[in-house]
Amino acid sequence: MSSRYTPPIPQSVRESPKWVPVLMLVFLALGVITIMMRYLLSDSVGNWPVFAGLGFVLAGLYTATKWH
């Protein structure tokens, strides 16, 4: 254990900007809507909407890990 003093991190540094949770919800909603539209409008468009929707969901989950 170190005997050095480490000052606490200021609260302003630990708080995320207000747009982070909004961006997270937008990504998650886009992912869900994209996947749902693929199955509701099945005009044999292939699997790219599913992969795009999963990408949006993963982007939302990644953004959620950055939210403090």
Spatial separation of the C-alpha atoms in residues 29 and 60, rounded to whole Å: 9
20-63: pLDDT as tens digits: 999 999 999 999 999 999 888 877 778 898 999 999 999 999 99
5-17: pLDDT as tens digits: 888 888 767 788 8
The CB-side HSE value for 43 (13 A sphere, CA atoms) comes to 2
Spatial separation of the C-alpha atoms in residues 51 and 66, rounded to whole Å: 23
pLDDT at 55: 98
Contact 59, 27 (CB under 8 A): yes
Residues recorded for the chain: 68
Q: pTM value?
A: 0.76
pLDDT at 1: 63
Q: How confident is the model at residue 67 (pLDDT cuts 50, 70, 90)?
A: confident
